[in-house]
Each structure stands twice: as C-alpha cells, then as structure tokens.
Amino acid sequence: MLLIIAVGAVSCRKEACENPFFCDWDTPFEVPPFDQIKFEHFKPAYLKGMEEQMAEVDVIINNPEEPTFDNTIRAMQFTGELLTKVQRAMVPLSNANTNDSIQALQREMSPLFSKHRDDIALNEKLFERVKTVYENRDSFDLTPEESKLLEDEYLGFIRSGIGLSPENKDKLRKLNSELLLLSVKFGENLLAETNGFTLVIENEEDLSGLPEGIMAQAADAATAKDMEGKWLFTLHNPSYIPFMTYADNRALREKMFRGYMMRGNNGNERDNNQIVADIIRLRVEKAKLLGYESHADYVLERNMAKEPETVLNFLAQIWEAALPVAKAEAAAQQELIDREGGNFRLEPWDWFYYTEKIRKEKYDLSDEETKPYFSAKNVTDGMFHVAKRLYGLEFAGRNDIPLYHPDVKTFEVTRDKKHVGILMIDYHPRASKRGGAWCSGMRSQRIDENGKFVTPLVSMVTNFTPPSGDTPSLLTPDEASTLFHEFGHALHNLLSNTEYTSGVSRDFVELPSQIMEHWVFEPEVLKVYAKHYQTGEVIPDALIEKIEKAGKFNQGFTTIEYLAASSLDMEYHSLTEPVEINVGEFEKSAMEKYGLIREIIPRYRSTYFSHIIGGYSAGYYSYIWCEQLDADAFKAFKETGDIFNREVADRFEKEILSRKGSKDELEMWVAFRGREPGIEALLENRGLLQQ
C-alpha cells in the first residue's frame, strides 16, 4: 500500500525564508538544495509533513461523492508531498553522510513515523473507500496499470492489518514501532563496529606480500589519523579484502578476519545479538497476528516465489551442485598449504590468500595485474558506453547541482537530446557512510497530479578504494561488476515509464541490475573502456583471455557463502512461533543442518546481516533467484550474435525496465523471453552445470 509518494514542487509556505522544505526548490531539476538545508530544518518539516498528509487523507475520506478510482486510489498517490520531499534529502544523508545528530533524530522520529504509517494503513474509513472501488473495479474503465495499482492498494491494507480487532490493531502498532526502532539501532551499532576496528602496523615486515598500492593506501590512512610512519587497515572492503588476499602474516589475517566476522557480537554496548533475536521474535508475532504461519509466508506471498518451500527447494538445487565444487576448492588449498610446508589446517582466514595463489598459479592472473586497467573513471565510462549502445542514453557531467557530500559526481542523462534524469555516483568509503553498495531513487519517475512527466533523480553509492597520491581509484574485477550492477538499478529507475510509482518484488528487482554485470568483461566492451591509467594502453588480448578463463574460478566458494547466508535468512524467517532464540546457537545449528564446511562462513553472519534487518528479510535469496532470469535474459542477446542487439534491448526496456512494478513480474518476463524461467542458465553461468 502506497503511503508516501514523491511529486513535483510544492507551493511556498509562510516559513519559506526559514526552512527550505517549505518552499519551491529552484535548483536544477529540483534536486534537494543540500547547500541550504540545515539539520534543524528536518524535524519541523517532518512533523509538518505528517500533519499535512493526514489532512490530505481526511479530504479523501470525507469526499461526499461515491468512491471511484480517481477520487480515492489516484488521489492517494498525491498525498504526503512534503513528507516525501524531506525524505528525499534525508535518505542520502542518513545512509552515506550520517552523524550523531542525524542518528539521534532517526531514533526520535521512528515511533512517530511508525504511528503515522499505521494511522493510514489502519484507517477503516479510508479502507472502506478503497474496498468499494476494488469490489466495483469491473465497472471502471481501468488501464492494466491502474488495475494493478488498485489490487496492490487493496491487498496492502489487508496485509497491513486492517481486518484486525481494535485490540490486535493496538498490538500491531506496538510491534511496528518496536521493529522500526530496533532496525535503526542495529544499523547504528553495525556502523560503529565497522568503524571501531582498526589494525595498525608499525613493523614493515608485517606488510610482506601486500602490493605497493595497498601499502600506500594504508600509509595514507594512518597519516590521516596522525600516525605518520605506520600503516592503518580497516574493515571497509577496499582495505579488508586486499589485506586478506595478499598479507603473508597469517596471524594478522586471522586478527582482521575475527574483527570482521565478530562485528556486533562482542558483548559490548554495540552488540546486536539481542536486537536480532528481538527482531526475529517480533516478526513472527506480527506474522501470526496477521494470519500467516511465518514471516517468510507473509513476505513471499507478494514475491515471484510465493511460498517458502519454493525458495528452499530452489536453494537446495544450487547447494547440491555447488557444495562439491567448494569442497574441491578447499582440498586444492590444503594441498597447496601442505606442498609449501605449512603445518596447519585451512581456516576461513586463509581462503582469500590461498585462492589468490592458486589463481596466480593456474591462470597467471591476479587483481593487481588487472586493476591498472580498471580505474573508477574508465569503468564508469564503460558502463555509460554500454547504456548508449543499448538504450541510446548520454551522460554529461554537471557541476551546478547541490551535493549531499563533496565526493559525489553528478551526471545529467539524456536521450535524443531530451532530459531523462539525474544520476549521482558516490564512490568511496568514509566513516559517515555505511558499508556495501546500493542504488536509491531520491525521486521516482511518475506523472504528477497535473499530468506532467516527473523525471527521476537516482543515487548510486559504493565503497571503492579511494585515490592515493597520483594513483586514481583502481577497481578489482569484482568491484567493476559491482559498479555495473548498481548502474543496472539506476537504469531501471531512469527508464521507468509509468503513470504511478509502484513497488517491485524483491525477487525480481535484481534482474535489471544483474543483467548489466554480463557486459563488464565482454571483450568488445573491455576494448572500449579498459585502458591503463598511466599509459592509456588498451587492455591486451592476452589479459582478456586470462580474465575469460578465470571467470568461473572459485565459484564453489562464492556460491556456497552466498547460499549459506540465504539459507540462514530463510531459517530465521520460517520460524512459526515467537520463541526467544540464542542467535549464535541458532546460526551454528542452521549451518550444520545444511552441511556448510568449516572453511567457509556465511557471507553475512547474523549480527551484521543488514540486508535481512532491512528490506531483504526472507528475501536475500532474491539475488540468485534473479540470476536464473538475468543469465537467461543475457542469453537472448548472445543468441543473436550481437550483445548490443537493439531489437532485444528495445524489448527488454519495453517489457521489463519501463514497466517497473506496473505489471505482474512473471507476465513481464514471459512477454520478454517467450517462456517461463529455468535454472539451467544460472548453473551454466556459474560453471556448475556439469559438476
């Protein structure tokens, strides 16, 4: 059920001179005026925004005319204008440039937001109007998109608990408020834990094995912390992964590993164990209250998978194919350890290190060999090239648009010289920014109340190695794939062409992102963007061949660590009783159940599994679920002999990208591919088909 929707500029209010949220934004394309917005502007704007939306809802409820699609469903889409306006500015700040004040405000506002949403979702008079429209839907001349929106709105009320007794509605309100506050606290703890661990090296001998660029980066980080002459390593991926991959000092690798995997699990004031246990318990309580067996049943009802059993069977098929490969990879590493005279058993903190040695030995390839050809700028140019070839999009840098942080790069997107949207890219880690990579729509495409086409404002956020001295930001192949991945999400937002803003199922939303990863290492694409940052030399054919041969290397590990996290997610959210769990014991038992080998841990352990605390609860499986779609979708291009085939690209845009939640996802897929999806292309893509 849609409660808060972005629309165009609002009319000026009396407080215009004091608070930017209370007047029109005259910035280019109505980008939030981050240079004018101050922290003290947020709270009064939030409070005013909630007040205004409730007044707008009251107008709909008290309309004396019979409920129709236009005066009820459509009218609902244009409520909450001010509240959305505030969120457009807060979301990038809270995720990528936060501070103690912002975090405190989020904690303060969380119960108010929860109450506000529930006041709308549990409003019986509003629901009666929606229900009347739904029951008389055949009498309205609705477009397919309007029919889908009506169904989503009606079911949204049902799933939000509108049919509960007054007593149970009060229980639901309390659950929603507690869950929201717990999730905010979880995120704060994780950010603090990630920033709180550092490894300071004083003896240069302890840097053995590390590439010069990584050492220089660590030296810069130490200098920035007034530790001149030392080397500083953190748990942020650009620091953590190279250290785990190249550092010869096994004891220090173990220290880094334990710092990483123990985040939120250190028995201190930032411990997340009880928070996770409480969230899982409260989610079960909420699901039971709403009439579902489990939280997973509740979530999956509106996804492509529909029910937990489908997901579990799907994951089991891939697990069965991948586990023998992972075991063989572990055996190969143990063999190398023994061959080198190591008198120890392979442990999780050894995996990256010995995998890199085997890759070097088997393919004569390392990330350090490829990184000079993958500067962040060149990879960005490459993804823009792909978007132009596929969809005719052009990207031009803009320096006149307000930014939420100076590091952000901004581009205007056009097609046939017509404005399409704004894209912001935020590349590098900082203490005020959560880890990982994501894409968000600060403003979604839609048609506003006056029939005007509203263009999207999209933000891509990553945590890549920052520049160091004269060396630009250089990416590993995995990071290049990540950039293309988030760009796929951006394209989904930029190329949306719907009348209303609609949500996309979790197990479909990764299709537009993951399909973009297929172009990253295509030789035809590499020849365009992969150029040595110092010499400008195009990546040589011999190196491209190495990349191709190593493309499916270590897929047993990559698949199993992901599946372990997905299975853990499903185990938590398939619980049917709100029992008090010991998070550590539950995780251990779940991994033993699936037969996870001791040398591998889940990609995300419970106390830092932010995906499932956020919007991917009972949904982390969706990445690999979508891989069966993206692998098959890219196959549609390959089958033509042209990875830039415009007929296929036009069909993908028309049937998938432009529809963005306005149609049933399975119908969208079949309209594009001509048949239902299967698992074969996924297994082939990962090199697991014949295993």
- As annotated, the active-site residues are 486
DSSP H/E element including 439? strand 438-443
| DSSP 8-state secondary structure symbol assigned to residue 426 | E
Number of C-beta neighbours around residue 369 at 10 A:
13
406-431 b/e (C-beta count within 10 Å ≥ 16 → b): ebbbbbbbebeeeebbbbbbbbbbee
Q: Which two tokens stand for residue 641?
A: 């002999």
> Which residue type, as a one-letter code, is found at position 657?
L
As a whole number of angstroms, the distance between CA 643 and CA 136 comes to 47
Residue pair 666/522 in contact (Cβ under 8 Å)? The answer is no
Closest-CA residue to 154 (of 126, 176, 115, 119): 126
- ∠ Cα 231 436 678 (to 5°): 135
Q: Which two tokens stand for residue 220?
A: 């810069």
> Which residue type, as a one-letter code, is found at position 178?
E
Residue 40 CA from chain centroid, whole number: 29
As a whole number of angstroms, the distance between CA 492 and CA 391 comes to 12
Burial classification of residue 664, based on how many CB atoms lie within 10 Å of its CB (0-12 exposed, 13-18 middle, 19 or more buried): middle
Q: Three-state SS across 72-131?
A: HHHHHCCCCHHHHHHHHHHHHHHHHCCCHHHHHHHHHHHHHHHHHHHHHHCCHHHHHHHH
- The three-class DSSP label of residue 198 is strand
Residue pair 231/218 in contact (Cβ under 8 Å)? The answer is yes
Q: How far is CA 375 from CA 213, 370, 533, in A?
A: 13, 10, 7
> Which residue type, as a one-letter code, is found at position 646?
R
Residue pair 478/639 in contact (Cβ under 8 Å)? The answer is no
Closest-CA residue to 492 (of 403, 410, 423): 423
- The three-class DSSP label of residue 442 is strand
As a whole number of angstroms, the distance between CA 600 and CA 555 comes to 13
- ∠ Cα 397 401 402 (to 5°): 135
